[in-house]
């Protein structure tokens, strides 16, 4: 089979041809009505879809077009990183306003770089006109033993990958008219999906994982609710980027780090092995899981004492956010 | 596994909960980061993504919210009907402006009805804010022997399912300030994806198929280009709804009928068997496939003579369309 089907005439197909030129070997089999893929025997298919919409998830003046493409792709891949799954491919639905058409090659370059990094070929897509740039990316993966957010059990330790707070600090700087630090900006603009880390964790006994797209303070509640447990966060243990408060680290969304529940008594040894297998990426114990007989709960501790959860620690909620 | 994961708090999750209430058993396993599915052993996975965007693909005043949900879902399923594949599930990415939030239950009802008709459960999704309503629907199917648009061979007959021109006539009426006939409006508002028909055709020797989302005049060019053949359309044979010209039938997009290339000498017998297996849906021979030594071509015949293709016979091109 040839790598791509020959496309008919028309401006919409010209746009697709320009994208394919940019992607090269990062895209396969585009142009037919649908793409064909094979799931390895014995594995299950894992799928997820994620939209990045201009002014909702980013503003044009904050990011280059390459970064917008990269970030949207990594955000979509991140959902499956939390499952411990391996990529099969991605489908792209792009809504491209007229004012953005000249940026298509740059957007495509960012998308292509991100999918290539995780060996997730582009296998299909759709391009539409619209008022705002929107990238809806569906990710297909496979795995034999999927992680879920519902698997946390009493006695588990809670871990997070990396250091939190960078994307939130960058957003806060932009929204208050300032300029983020280069480090915070990079955390927002060039996140990496923790695909390799998720696989390592699934293979080393993790019970549950979730990516921190809503922020640790919000996502830990999803784990507690889905698993029917109490999650205890040790506030002083939360790994943070420089200059960020605990409250900011808890509320910083779009992190794309993982929160993991795993049954390990020797957290330090687990973290060291993890770092060795994942290019030095840190894994930090940040709490524990306790039994709940009815319902679910999240509580905070500091210096061994139960404390109130810092007040800005809420999930970023696209529907509750003020008009921007 | 419970049917759905317990969702955490927040307005975005409230919206998802309202959708799940509406869908009932039409949705499974929503709420985790990703959905798990199984492809039957020996089958291949087939995937496609399709967006329906307000003012680009429909206008709010033309359709009820139920119809918008139904139509977007059938349009997405239609791409895989042309492969002869069976549904595994769908993922929905909805961009919902504030002015549309009250319509979410009605949109969800239309989506739910459409997926239930074709046994394609909703397995995941994403809800974002935005300026225009947009429904991006990714369809996952499986098949052992996929059809493609690239399989047409010299000697094949060309067939179409159903009768063409209704959606184009409805659009034309709306765009010129009139009211479409009830029959034309129904063809636009309540299309059906030809999933069962596509499976029958794949099982009965069809070589290639494509859905007529760009209109017969445009989509036959895609088949010719992808297969490297000349397609000869017999203009008088094209099945049309009442009151529609040949040119209109050729240019009417969003049809969701199938164009099929199949090696049958006795087209009448093939059509009769097809109708018996597909609830009386017609299959009409509309032309033939000829060899091309270099390139691809589409030509028209009437009364045995080569004629010019009627001039409005061009694909609907979202990028070339005037601003509306």
In tens, the pLDDT along A127-173 reads 888 888 999 999 999 999 889 899 999 999 999 999 999 999 999 99
Token pair listed for B133: 């309503």
Contact (Cβ atoms closer than 8 angstroms) between residue B190 and residue B258: no
8 A C-beta contact, residue B166 and residue B180: no
Q: Which residue has the tokens 């087939």?
A: B46
As to burial, measured by CB atoms within 10 angstroms (0-12 exposed, 13-18 middle, 19+ buried), residue A322 is exposed
The residue ranges of DSSP E strands in B107-238, in sequence order, are: 122-128, 134-143, 157-161, 208-211, 229-234
Nearest C-alpha of chain A: how many angstroms from B28?
13
Contact in structure between A284 and A186 (CB atoms under 8 Å): no
Confidence of residue A23 (pLDDT cuts 50, 70, 90): confident
Which CATH number applies to A157-307: 3.40.50.1820, 3.90.25.10, 3.90.650.10, 3.30.70.3270? 3.90.650.10
| Domain at A11-143, CATH homologous superfamily | PurM-like, N-terminal domain (3.30.1330.10)
Asked whether residue A31 carries a pLDDT value surpassing 70, the answer given is no
Closest Cβ opposite residue A34 in set B39, B83, B226: B83
Integer Cα distance of B187 and B165 in angstroms? 9
Across the interface, whether the CB atoms of A148 and B32 are under 8 A apart is answered yes
Mutate which: A34, A87, A121, A206, vs B, most B CBs within 10 A = A34
Calculate how close chain A gets to B302, using CA atoms only, in Å.
24
A125 close contact with B: CB closer than 8 A:
yes
Name the minimum distance, in Å, from the CA of A46 to any CA of chain B. Answer: 5
> Which residues are registered as beta bridge partners of B117?
none
The first and second tokens of residue A93, run together, are: 């639905």
Contact A31, A46 (CB under 8 A): no
Q: Is residue A33 very low, low, confident or very high in pLDDT (cuts 50, 70, 90)?
A: low
Angle at B9 between CA B3 and CA B15, to 5 degrees: 70
How far is B246 from chain A, CA to nearest CA, in Å?
Answer: 21
Q: Which of A201, A9, A15 is nearest to A103 (CA)?
A: A15
Question: Is the Cβ of A131 closer than 8 Å to some Cβ of chain B?
Answer: yes
Instruction: Find out whether B128 and A56 touch, Cβ atoms under 8 Å.
Output: yes
Q: Is residue A294 very low, low, confident or very high in pLDDT (cuts 50, 70, 90)?
A: confident
Given CB atoms, is A76 within the 8 Å cutoff of chain B?
Answer: no
Q: Residues 156 to 185 of A: which have CB under 8 A from any B CB?
A: none
In this prediction, residue A239 carries a pLDDT of 97
What average pLDDT does range A228-232 have in this prediction? 97
Q: For B189-238, how does the pLDDT look when each residue is reduced to its tens digit (9 = 90+)?
A: 999 999 999 999 999 999 999 999 889 999 999 999 999 999 999 999 99
End-to-end CA distance of chain B: 47
- Specify whether the CB–CB gap between B191 and B71 falls below 8 A: yes
Q: Which of A206-210, A259-263, B210-214 has the lowest mean pLDDT?
A: B210-214
HSE-CB for B244 with a 13 A CA cutoff = 31
User: Which tokens go with A43?
Assistant: 């594995």
Residue A84: both structure tokens together: 């411990």
- CATH 3.90.650.10 range(s) for chain B read 157-307
Q: What phi and psi values does residue A121 have, to the nearest 5 degrees?
A: -65, 150
For the ranges A64-73, A278-287, A309-318, B9-18, the lowest mean pLDDT is seen at A309-318
Q: Which residue's entry shows tokens 């005049």?
A: B217
* Pairing outcome for strands B229-234 and B297-302: parallel
How far is the C-alpha of B108 from the C-alpha of B24, rounded, in Å?
11
What is the average pLDDT across A287-306?
92
Average pLDDT over residues A51-56: 88
How far is the alpha carbon of A8 from chain B, nearest alpha carbon, in Å? 5
- What is the C-alpha to C-alpha distance for residues A155 and A287, in angstroms, rounded to an integer? 10
Strands (E), chain B: 35-37, 44-53, 86-95, 122-128, 134-143, 157-161, 208-211, 229-234, 258-262, 283-291, 297-302, 305-307
Interchain CB contact of A18 with B (< 8 Å): no
Interface test with B, best of A27, A33, A227 (most B CBs within 10 A): A33
Question: Residues of chain B whose pLDDT is less than 50?
Answer: 1-9, 313-324
In total, chain B counts a number of residues equal to 324
3-class secondary-structure state, position B277: helix
All CATH 3.30.1330.10 domain ranges in chain B, comma separated: 11-143
With a CB-CB cutoff of 8 Å, which residues 232-291 of chain B face chain A? none
Residues making up chain A, counted from first to last: 324
Tokens of B62: 């033309």
Q: How far are the Cα atoms of A111, B63, B106, B311 from residue B22, in angstroms, in the given order?
A: 35, 20, 9, 46
| Alpha-helical segments (H) within chain A | 11-23, 65-81, 104-117, 166-175, 182-189, 195-203, 216-227, 246-251, 267-277
Q: Rounded to whole angstroms, what are the CA distances from B155 to A123, A199, B76, B265, B291?
A: 31, 51, 31, 9, 8
Residues A38-62 have a mean pLDDT of 90
Decide: helix, strand or coil at residue B145: coil
Inter-axis angle of helices A65-81 and A104-117, nearest 10: 30
Cross-chain Cβ contact A47/B123 below 8 Å: yes
Nearest C-alpha neighbor of A246 from the set A163, A317, A176: A163
Pair A58, A52: CB distance under 8 Å:
yes
- ∠ CA A199-A202-A208, rounded to 5°: 125
Nearest CA in chain A to B229: A6
Round to whole Å and give the CA distance between A78 and B59.
35
Q: Is A43 on the interface with B (CB under 8 A)?
A: no
**What are the helix and strand counts (H, E) for chain B?**
9, 12
| Window B:84-123, CB contacts with A under 8 Å | 85, 88-89, 91-93, 95, 123
What residues of chain B lie within 8 A of the CB of A139, using their CB? Answer: 34
- Looking at residue A32, its pLDDT comes to 59
Task: Give the H/E segment covering residue B279.
Answer: none
Closest CB from A37, A126, A211 relative to B49: A126
- Which of B11, B138, B210, B258 to substitute to test the interface with A, most A CBs within 10 Å? B138
B146 touches chain A (CB under 8 A): yes
The shortest C-alpha distance from A194 to chain B (Å) reads: 14
**Binary contact (A34, B47; C-beta < 8 A):** yes
Closest residue, chain B, to A55 (C-alpha): B130
Q: What is the mean pLDDT of chain A?
A: 87
- What is the enclosing helix (H) or strand (E) of A259? strand A258-262
Chain A residues in contact with B144 (beta carbon < 8 A): none
């Amino acid at each position: 089979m040839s790598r791509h089907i020959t496309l008919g005439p028309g401006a919409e197909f010209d746009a697709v041809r320009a994208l394919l030129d940019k992607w090269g070997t990062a895209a396969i089999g585009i142009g037919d009505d649908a793409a064909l893929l094979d799931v390895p025997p014995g594995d299950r298919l894992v799928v997820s879809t994620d939209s990045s919409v201009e002014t909702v998830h980013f503003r044009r003046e904050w990011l280059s077009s390459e970064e917008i493409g990269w970030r949207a792709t990594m955000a979509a891949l991140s959902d499956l990183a939390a499952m411990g799954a391996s990529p099969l491919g991605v489908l792209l639905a792009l809504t491209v306003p007229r004012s953005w058409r000249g940026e298509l090659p740059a957007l495509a370059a960012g998308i292509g770089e991100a999918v290539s990094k995780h060996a997730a070929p582009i296998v299909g897509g759709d391009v539409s006109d619209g008022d705002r740039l929107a990238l809806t990316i569906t990710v297909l993966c496979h795995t034999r033993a999927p992680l879920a957010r519902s698997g946390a059990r009493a006695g588990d330790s809670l871990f997070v990958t990396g250091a939190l707070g960078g994307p939130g600090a960058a957003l806060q700087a932009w929204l208050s008219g300032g300029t983020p630090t280069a480090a915070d900006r990079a955390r927002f603009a060039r996140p990496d999906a923790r695909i390799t880390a998720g696989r390592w964790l699934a293979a080393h006994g993790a019970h549950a994982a979730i990516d921190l797209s809503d922020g640790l303070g919000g996502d830990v509640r999803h784990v507690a609710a889905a698993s029917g447990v109490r999650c205890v966060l040790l506030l002083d243990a939360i790994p943070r980027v420089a200059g960020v408060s605990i409250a900011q680290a808890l509320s910083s969304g779009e992190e794309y780090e993982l929160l993991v529940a795993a049954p390990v008594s020797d957290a330090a040894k687990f973290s060291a092995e993890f770092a060795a297998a994942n290019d030095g990426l840190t894994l930090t114990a940040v709490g524990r899981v306790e039994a709940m007989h009815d319902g679910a709960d999240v509580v905070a501790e500091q210096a061994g004492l139960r404390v109130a959860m810092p007040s800005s620690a809420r999930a970023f909620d696209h529907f509750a956010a003020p008009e921007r």
